[in-house]
């Protein structure tokens, strides 16, 4: 029984990591209605920045982390300025397709700049797990889970209670209307990309702490996709619940159902949950229901 | 227009020289050229090791052209094709490769090449030579794809057989497997050993079979189960990232279960990804090929020849050794085909026939591979199977066992 509880806790914490990566999807979507297919690539870009500042520049870990977050913010800002700012007012489809192009481009840039070698990633969180009697909780995931909850609470407050956050929500509704109301559409979208890139870098630190880094780590972007769609693309708070449900379901399926069916169910379960909820509620569990006047 | 006597004499001399040149059997005109296609992964899961593996096999062909090929009047041209370790990519590239190169042989990389081309190569009559261990799903008669090593399951069974003897005692050795469903080859590695363990419970007791992603999020809980089960060894023949995540999981649990890796995710690559080879102290790599240890062996000497005389830049490690052994395996078979048929009119079919005609001796592969005798029954030699075992002792890779016997693994 203790193993089952342990698997549930670990699964919930992995789900919270997915939720953190999915938060990058959501902040960009909430400000621009753009679904960023390059979210996983933002994670590896952040990961490589952390690796570069710690191992190549040899900076003190905390200085390297601070500099990495600043550089990620700059990268997010530049991505918006170079690729998306000219598309304001154009169809959402065009902007989404740009993110698909961005996925391929970022992967190429990472390969070009850093090469394909598997590299050690700095140990940012303690390697020794927390032991609670017979239970074992990985420290990186535990701290990561706390960071995810704090980030979700903070961002929910920002989007729902602050003027800047509400402006970003208005931008997501309609670029032209928001612009005519005197809201800086460019500024809002740029800020969303900065936030998305910073969240991705934090996600990379939790995901990769003490492990290895290659461009294949971008797969976590797709692992976070069911969490984002399950929660509803506008709901930051909903990501916590969605992350925990998806993580726990995946963990239980991997540990207890995979051996019975010969594997693979653990990787499929998050997508089955996602498809199930989208069939019943296309906007996701906590997504906005749009009321249209006829 | 007039021409001076001097100019006329020069013109006559030049014309005479040209006539003589065309009549003489010049070396360049004697040379027969054949093409070999190299399948590579510079941007997929093996992009980290591909440059040195590719360098190893390419420099062997350069060496062969300059030495054996020059004597036989044959030059082998080669060209790399990027497959991203993806079966769909291999399948889509293949018609272009065939029409562009008209190769007499293909030098493949891994499972996706086998999955994509095993049905096509018999029709096209072009053999493919691999560097890796073989796959259970490709274990069929009349193959056109050939591995110098037995299957991964043979190699892991051979390792466990050796470890059990080393440990002593009558009880079965307890082993755990870590694999991934990201590639059919990874699943195959686990399935073969599972079948062998099922049929030989007195030898191997499989305590855990764990599947994970190619870049796992966290394996602490899984490694706790492995440690608690009392596993004597953890078999990971997938990739470096999984080895790193498993090692971190074991370290987090304060557990010391030795990991066995294969050649493509072996000790140097995994040690580098962990931040130091010393973290793999007591872990193993095992495969049917020479161990790239520090000792002055014939393979090491041949590597040095390639480095000194042919510009090989790759370091002396298992991946370079894998590329060199593959190159030597392929050029030796082609050489046998030339010796049997003459340099003219060589075809893929004749190259394949040469593979069965005579053994590829360990001397011909400079000790990189044992003597290999192929038969049409299987894509790898069925007799005299051996595994070599390397380990990390005091921060250095050492040879633990050479030519350890592989038990009789049945098809799965």
Contacts across the A-B interface (CB distance below 8 Å):
92
Provide the angle, in degrees to the nearest 10, between the axes of the packed helices B50-64 and B318-341.
30
User: What ipTM does the predicted assembly reach?
Assistant: 0.74
Q: Is A257 on the interface with B (CB under 8 A)?
A: no
Q: Is B218 on the interface with A (CB under 8 A)?
A: yes
Number of H helices, E strands in chain A: 12, 4
A212/B244 touch (CB, cutoff 8 Å), yes or no:
yes
What is the least distance, in Å, from the CA of B340 to any CA of chain A? 42
Interface probe, candidates B45, B217, B243, B250, chain A, greatest A C-beta count within 10 A:
B217
A264/B181 touch (CB, cutoff 8 Å), yes or no:
yes
User: Which residue is closest to A206 within chain B, CA to CA?
Assistant: B217
What is the least distance, in Å, from the CA of B102 to any CA of chain A? 31
Q: How confident is the model at residue B31 (pLDDT cuts 50, 70, 90)?
A: confident
Nearest to B252 among A127, A217, A223 (CB): A127
B218/A259 touch (CB, cutoff 8 Å), yes or no:
no
Q: Is B272 on the interface with A (CB under 8 A)?
A: yes
Say if CB A129 and CB A138 are below 8 A apart: yes
Nearest to A127 among B45, B241, B251 (CB): B251
Q: Is B245 on the interface with A (CB under 8 A)?
A: yes
Per-residue pLDDT at B264 = 87
Q: Residue A285 forms beta bridges with which residues?
A: none
CA atoms within 13 A on the CB side of A75: 26
Interface probe, candidates B40, B42, B221, B273, chain A, greatest A C-beta count within 10 A:
B221
User: Which residue is closest to A203 within chain B, CA to CA?
Assistant: B217
pLDDT in tens, chain A (294 residues): 788 898 899 999 999 999 999 999 899 888 878 888 899 999 999 999 999 999 999 999 999 999 999 999 999 999 999 988 888 777 878 888 899 999 999 988 888 888 777 888 999 998 888 888 878 888 989 999 999 999 999 999 998 899 988 888 888 777 788 888 888 888 888 999 999 999 999 999 999 999 888 887 888 888 899 999 998 888 888 999 999 999 999 989 888 887 777 666 888 899 999 899 888 888 888 877 665 565
**What is the phi/psi pair of residue A219, to 5°?**
-55, -25
B211/A258 touch (CB, cutoff 8 Å), yes or no:
yes
Indicate whether B83 pLDDT > 60. Answer: yes
Cα Rg, chain B, nearest whole Å: 24
- Spell out the alpha helix ranges (H) of A52-91: 61-79
Tens-place pLDDT, residues B208-226: 998 888 888 888 878 988 9
For residue B241, the chain A residues in CB contact (below 8 A) are 118, 211-212, 214, 216
Interface probe, candidates A212, A214, A265, chain B, greatest B C-beta count within 10 A:
A212
Tens-place pLDDT, residues B394-409: 999 999 999 999 999 9
- H/E stretch holding B180: strand B173-180
A211/B269 touch (CB, cutoff 8 Å), yes or no:
no
Q: How far apart are the C-alpha atoms of B85 and B50, rounded to whole Å?
A: 11
Nearest to A214 among B48, B220, B251 (CB): B48
Torsion of CA B256, B258, B263, B268, to 10 degrees: 40
Per cent of chain B over pLDDT 90 is: 72
Say if CB B117 and CB B94 are below 8 A apart: yes
- H/E stretch holding B207: strand B204-212
A118/B244 touch (CB, cutoff 8 Å), yes or no:
yes
A267/B213 touch (CB, cutoff 8 Å), yes or no:
yes
Tokens 């769609």 locate to A229
Per-residue pLDDT at B25 = 45
Q: Is B81 on the interface with A (CB under 8 A)?
A: no
What is the least distance, in Å, from the CA of A171 to any CA of chain B? 35
Q: Is A4 on the interface with B (CB under 8 A)?
A: no
Q: Which two tokens stand for residue A221?
A: 């972007």
Nearest to A116 among B48, B220, B273 (CB): B48
Per-residue pLDDT at B29 = 47
**A22: how many CB neighbours lie within 10 A of its CB?**
32
Per-residue pLDDT at A75 = 95
For residue A118, the chain B residues in CB contact (below 8 A) are 48, 240-241, 244, 269, 272-273
Q: How confident is the model at residue B40 (pLDDT cuts 50, 70, 90)?
A: very high
Q: Is B274 on the interface with A (CB under 8 A)?
A: yes
Tens-place pLDDT, residues B101-156: 999 999 999 888 998 999 999 999 999 999 989 999 889 999 999 999 999 999 99
């Amino acid at each position: 029984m203790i193993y089952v509880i342990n698997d549930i806790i670990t699964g919930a914490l992995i789900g919270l990591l997915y939720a953190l990566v999915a938060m990058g999807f959501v902040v960009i979507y909430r400000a621009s209605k753009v679904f960023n297919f390059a979210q996983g690539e933002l994670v590896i870009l952040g990961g490589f920045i952390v690796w570069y500042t710690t191992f190549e520049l040899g900076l003190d870990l905390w200085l390297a982390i601070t500099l990495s977050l600043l550089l990620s913010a700059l990268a997010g800002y530049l991505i918006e300025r170079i690729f998306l700012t000219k598309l304001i007012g154009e169809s959402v489809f065009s902007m989404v397709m740009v993110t698909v192009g961005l996925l391929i481009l970022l992967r190429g840039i990472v390969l070009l700049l850093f090469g394909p070698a598997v590299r050690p990633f700095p140990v940012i969180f303690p390697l020794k797990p927390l032991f609670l009697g017979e239970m074992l909780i990985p420290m990186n995931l535990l701290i990561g889970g706390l960071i995810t909850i704090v980030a979700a609470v903070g961002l929910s407050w920002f989007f729902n209670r602050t003027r800047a956050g509400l402006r970003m929500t208005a931008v997501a509704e309609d670029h032209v209307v928001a612009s005519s109301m005197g809201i800086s559409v460019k500024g809002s979208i740029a800020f969303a990309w900065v936030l998305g890139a910073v969240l991705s870098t934090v996600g990379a630190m939790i995901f990769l702490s003490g492990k290895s880094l290659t461009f294949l780590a971008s797969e976590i972007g797709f692992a976070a996709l069911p969490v984002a769609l399950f929660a509803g693309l506008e709901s930051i708070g909903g990501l916590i619940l969605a992350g925990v449900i998806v993580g726990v379901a995946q963990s239980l399926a991997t540990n207890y159902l995979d051996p019975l069916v010969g594997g693979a169910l653990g990787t499929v379960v998050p997508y089955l949950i996602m498809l199930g909820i989208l069939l019943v509620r296309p906007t996701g569990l906590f997504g906005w229901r749009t009321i249209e006047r006829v | 227009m007039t021409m001076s006597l001097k100019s006329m004499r020069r013109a006559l001399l030049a014309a005479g020289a040209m006539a003589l040149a065309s009549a003489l059997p010049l070396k360049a005109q004697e040379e027969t050229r054949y093409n070999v296609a190299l399948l590579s992964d510079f941007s997929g899961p093996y992009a980290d090791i591909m440059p040195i593996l590719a360098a190893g096999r390419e420099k062997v062909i350069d060496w062969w052209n300059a030495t054996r090929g020059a004597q036989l009047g044959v030059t082998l041209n080669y060209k790399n094709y990027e497959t991203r370790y993806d079966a769909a990519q291999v399948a889509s590239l293949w018609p272009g490769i065939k029409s562009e190169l008209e190769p007499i042989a293909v030098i493949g990389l891994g499972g996706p090449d086998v999955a994509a081309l095993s049905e096509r190569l018999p029709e096209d009559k072009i053999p493919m030579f691999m560097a890796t261990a073989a796959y259970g799903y490709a274990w069929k008669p009349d193959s056109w794809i050939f591995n110098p090593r037995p299957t991964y399951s043979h190699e892991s069974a051979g390792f466990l057989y050796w470890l059990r003897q080393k440990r002593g005692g009558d009880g079965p050795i307890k082993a755990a497997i870590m694999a991934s469903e990201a590639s059919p080859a990874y699943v195959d590695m686990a399935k073969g050993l599972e079948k062998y363990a099922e049929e030989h419970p007195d030898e191997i007791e499989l305590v855990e079979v764990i599947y994970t992603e190619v870049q796992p999020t966290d394996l602490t809980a899984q490694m706790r189960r492995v440690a608690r089960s009392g596993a004597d060894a953890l078999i990971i023949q997938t990739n470096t990232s999984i080895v790193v995540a498993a090692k971190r999981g074991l370290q987090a649990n304060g557990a010391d279960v030795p990991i066995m890796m294969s050649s493509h995710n072996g000790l140097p690559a995994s040690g580098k990804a962990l931040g130091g080879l010393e973290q793999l102290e007591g872990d193993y790599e095992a495969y049917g090929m020479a161990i790239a240890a520090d000792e002055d062996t014939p393979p090491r000497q041949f590597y040095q020849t390639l480095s000194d005389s042919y510009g090989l830049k790759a370091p002396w490690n298992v991946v370079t050794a894998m590329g060199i052994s593959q190159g030597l395996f392929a050029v030796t078979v082609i050489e046998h085909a030339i010796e049997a048929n003459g340099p003219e009119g060589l075809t893929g079919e004749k190259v394949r026939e040469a593979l069965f005609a005579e053994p590829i001796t360990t001397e011909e592969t400079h000790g990189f591979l044992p003597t290999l005798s192929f038969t049409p029954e299987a894509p790898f030699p069925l007799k005299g199977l051996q595994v070599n075992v390397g380990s990390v002792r005091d921060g250095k890779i050492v040879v633990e066992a050479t030519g350890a016997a592989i038990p009789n693994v049945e098809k799965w």
